[in-house]
Amino acid sequence: MRATITLGRIAGVRVGVHWSVLLIFALIAAGLAAERLPDAYPGRSWALYTLVGLVTAAVFFASLLAHELAHAVEARRRGVGVDGITLWLLGGATRLRAEAPDPGSELRIAGVGPLVSLVLGGLFAALTWLLDATSASGPLVEASAWLAAINILLGVFNAIPAAPLDGGRLLRAFLWWRTGDRLRAARGAAGAGRVFGWVLVALGLWGFLTTGVFGPLWLALVGWFLVLAATAEGRQAHLRETVSGVPVGSAMTADPVTVPTTLPAGRLRDDPSYGDRHRAFPVTDEEGRAVGLVTREQAATGDATVAEVMRPLSETRISHPDEPLSELLPRLEPTPEDRVVVLDDDRPVGVLTPVDVQRAVQNLMTSHSGPHR
């Protein structure tokens, strides 16, 4: 899930927002302003309901951000790099650069998010009591109560032991500790996620068919998302098992075409010497060291140089030829545009894409199947 808008950095972690957040923000604000607040405290002004609804929706997403930041901060404490956080339609996602090094770290990284949500729920519950005791405005009391309930619900729901929820990570940590096999543990958590997702789909459809209202379909939608996400995690676990023992250097596209920082960006499109088949290029400084990555889409037609439009190395996925391919896969998004720059002594020696991984898997399967007689 790639961010549409980058908000900046919080605690050193890059934070972005997907466009789908606008949809859910509008639904939450409208639902509060048009239904919940007027039903609980009728007779107040439309402007008050709208203002409280908008602020409550914003605080809700701030709570989601706190949940994801907890994951990111704990991951960095455990020596796991963080690519960033993206808020989107169904919550948030923290992108880690590697897997947790051991079951204990996995447990702590996964568990801290629901814990933060539960703590926030408790704080909002205390705030609700305080506002009510001081005879604060009714809509404010109701908004605080809603935030308490939604954060507690978020914490409890995320703790359910089913991938890709945080509880699925907790289950994976437990299975990893019991079996000593991280890939087997990942398959088990993914299987639990698929079962839980189908249960939600069934409950949502049953609720819709028996009541005739569309509300339960949201439950079915969440369940379907969990089924898809858990299935993807299961496939990745199988893929990592397939490429176990294969180094990145065996799968990458070696000797990539590089561009200097001083090159006018427009030349990436106009100069035939860079080849039509290349869509991204490692960027190097005067000494040949990698400093970033630039794509043809980033190339400008004006006077901008590659250095001005490139993605800096600090925001680019990097690897080493000797790194196990199975360890790199969790950092590689399954999109053709995603690329990992492979470095050796700070110099680019290759580029790895999902297409390269697919080719490596096909070669492994062909070699394992052997000749047919």
Residues labelled as active-site residues: 68
**Beta strands at 13-17 and 82-88: parallel, antiparallel or unpaired:** parallel
3-state helix, strand, coil in the chain (%, to 5): 60, 15, 25
Beta strands in the chain (DSSP E): 5-10, 13-17, 82-88, 91-96, 253-254, 259-260, 280-284, 290-295, 311-312, 318-319, 340-344, 347-352
Q: How far is CA 67 from CA 11, 93, 155, 169, in A?
A: 13, 10, 9, 15
What is the rounded CA–CA span in Å between residue 205 and residue 226? 15
Q: How far is CA 142 from CA 36, 117, 123, 127, 205, in A?
A: 8, 19, 14, 11, 30
Q: How far is CA 363 from the centre of its chain?
A: 30
CB distance 350 to 293 below 8 Å: no
- Torsion angle (degrees, nearest 10) of CA 154, 158, 159, 162: 150
What is the rounded CA–CA span in Å between residue 331 and residue 96? 7
Q: How many CA atoms, within 13 angstroms, populate the side-chain half-sphere of residue 30?
A: 6
What is the rounded CA–CA span in Å between residue 237 and residue 170? 16
Q: Who contacts 40 (Cβ-Cβ below 8 Å, separation ≥6)? A: 138, 139, 142
Closest CA relative to residue 314, chosen from 94, 99, 84:
84
CB distance 289 to 347 below 8 Å: yes
- Largest distance between two CA atoms of the chain: 85
